[in-house]
Amino acid sequence: MATYPASTPNRLPATETTSGSFWIVATMLLGFAVGVICIFVVLMWSDAHQARDAAQASSTPATTNTSGQVDVTVQIAPGVKYAAWAWAGGAPGPVIHVRQGQLVRITLTNDGAIPHSVDFHAARIAPDKAFADVLPGKSVSYSFRAEDAGVFMYHCGTKPVLMHIANGMYGAIVVEPRPGVLPKADKNYVLVASEWYLGSDGLRTPAQFDMAKAHARQPDWMTFNGYAGQYVTHPLTAKPGQLVRFWVVDAGPSLDTDFHVVGTLLNTAYPFGDINPAHALTDVQTATVPAGGGGVFDVKIDKPGLYPFVSHAFAAVDEGQVGVLRVGDVPGTMSH
In the chain, the number of structural domains is 2
Spatial strand order in the sheet of 119-120:
96-99, 170-176, 150-155, 119-120
Residue 194 included in any domain = no
Same domain, 20 and 160: yes
Whether 29 has a pLDDT exceeding 80, the answer reads: no
State which of 12-16, 64-68, 178-182, 272-276 shows the largest mean pLDDT.
Answer: 178-182
Q: Is 159 left (phi over 0), alpha (psi -120 to 50) or beta?
A: beta
Q: How far is CA 43 from the centre of its chain?
A: 21
Map residue 223 onto helix, strand or coil.
strand
Same domain, 241 and 130: no
**Do the Cβ atoms of 324 and 309 come closer than 8 Å?**
yes
Query: Which of 21-30, 47-56, 223-232 comes out lowest in average pLDDT?
Result: 21-30
pLDDT tens, residue by residue, 250-282: 999 999 999 999 999 999 999 998 899 999 999
Same domain, 183 and 229: no
The predicted structure's pLDDT at residue 336: 46
Q: How far apart are CA 294 and CA 152, in angstroms?
A: 6
Same domain, 180 and 256: no
pLDDT tens, residue by residue, 224-239: 999 999 999 999 999 9
Greatest Cα-to-Cα distance within the chain, rounded to the nearest angstrom: 56
Same domain, 229 and 183: no
Same domain, 18 and 143: yes
Same domain, 39 and 151: yes
Read off the CATH number of the domain in which 28 is found.
2.60.40.420
Do the strands 234-238 and 170-176 form a parallel or antiparallel pair, or are they unpaired?
Answer: unpaired
Same domain, 158 and 96: yes
Nearest to 118 by CA among 15, 27, 252, 247: 27
The predicted structure's pLDDT at residue 332: 63
Q: How far apart are CA 331 and CA 328, in angstroms?
A: 9
Residue 334 included in any domain = no
pLDDT tens, residue by residue, 69-93: 457 999 999 999 999 998 877 899 9
The predicted structure's pLDDT at residue 38: 25
Q: Pick the last residue of a domain from 187, 202, 230.
A: 187
Same domain, 273 and 179: no
Q: How far apart are CA 108 and CA 106, in angstroms?
A: 6
Same domain, 114 and 165: yes
Query: Which of 29-43, 101-115, 211-225, 267-281 comes out lowest in average pLDDT?
Result: 29-43
The domain in which residue 32 lies consists of 14-187
Query: Which of 19-23, 55-59, 97-101, 104-108 comes out lowest in average pLDDT?
Result: 19-23
DSSP-derived letter for residue 178 is P
Whether 121 has a pLDDT exceeding 50, the answer reads: yes
Same domain, 42 and 181: yes
Same domain, 251 and 150: no
Residue 234 included in any domain = yes
Using CA of residue 193, residue 188, residue 100, residue 3, what is the dihedral sign? negative
Residue 239 included in any domain = yes
Query: For residue 252, what are the contacts with CB-CB under 8 A and spacing of at least 6?
Result: 165, 194, 195, 291, 292
Rounded to an integer, the average pLDDT of 166-186 is 96
Q: What is the mean pLDDT of the chain?
A: 84
Residue 305 included in any domain = yes
The phi and psi torsions of 254 (rounded to 5 degrees) equal: -130, -25
pLDDT tens, residue by residue, 124-159: 999 999 999 999 989 999 999 999 999 999 999 999
Whether 36 has a pLDDT exceeding 90, the answer reads: no
Strands (E), 39-169: 72-77, 80-86, 96-99, 103-110, 119-120, 139-145, 150-155
Percent of the chain with pLDDT over 90: 73
The predicted structure's pLDDT at residue 37: 21
